[in-house]
Amino acid sequence: MSKAARVPARGRLTLAVTWFTLALAGLVGTWSFNVAFMADPQGLGYLEGWFANPASSSAAVDIIVVALAASLFMLVEGARLGWARWVWILVPLSFMVAIAFTLPLFLGIRELALRRRLRPRVERLGKEGSGQPGELVGLVVGDDVPGVRDGDQA
């Protein structure tokens, strides 16, 4: 990647906060409607409501295809970043909670990981990651990103 294409650490933090804000909006937005539907389903099953008319069917197919594509992206990119041990959990969460929550959540975590790569190499010497979910905290407080070497492309 060229130096001009690199995002500065501060920009990556801003972008991560934006992704996390969108994740929260996706969680609250989708579940406020889910709870309202559960309170008054109007005689429809949940999935039946997705395909109640051509407009909702179009939106449902759109979301399903995006969710499948996003799931594949999260699995492949997560494995590339050394997160294969835990990233898979986002796939079922995408369908049980909302892709509007899990995709921005993943992208926010990814931005924090990429931000970590901007730190000088001297500060990161001697830190080896195990790919465990608990290392997510390290992305925020200063541990290195597991499975990502300095020369890898972002």
Cα Rg of the chain (Å, integer): 18
C-alpha to C-alpha distance for 23 and 19, rounded to whole angstroms: 6
Q: Pick left, alpha or beta for residue 148 (phi over 0 → left; psi -120 to 50 → alpha; otherwise beta).
A: beta
Residue 147, in any domain of the structure:
no
Which DSSP category does 134 fall into? G
Q: Is residue 114 assigned to a domain?
A: yes
* Nearest CA-CA partner of 127 in 151, 113, 144: 144
The answer as to whether 152 is a domain residue is no
**Is there a domain that residue 61 lies in?**
yes
Which of 142, 147, 153 is CA-nearest to residue 120?
A: 142
CB neighbours of residue 141 within 10 Å: 6
pLDDT at 117: 79
Residues 6+ apart with CB under 8 A from 87: 74, 75, 78, 79, 106
pLDDT, position 43: 87
Tell me, yes or no, whether 103 lies in a domain: yes
pLDDT tens per residue across span 20-54: 999 999 999 999 999 999 999 888 999 999 999 99
Q: Residue 57 sits in which domain range?
A: 3-119+132-138
Domain count, the chain: 1
In a domain, 146, yes or no: no
- Domain assignment present for 111: yes
Residue 96 lies in a domain: yes
Residues 112-130: what's their mean pLDDT?
65
Q: Which pLDDT score, from 0 to 100, does residue 142 have?
A: 46
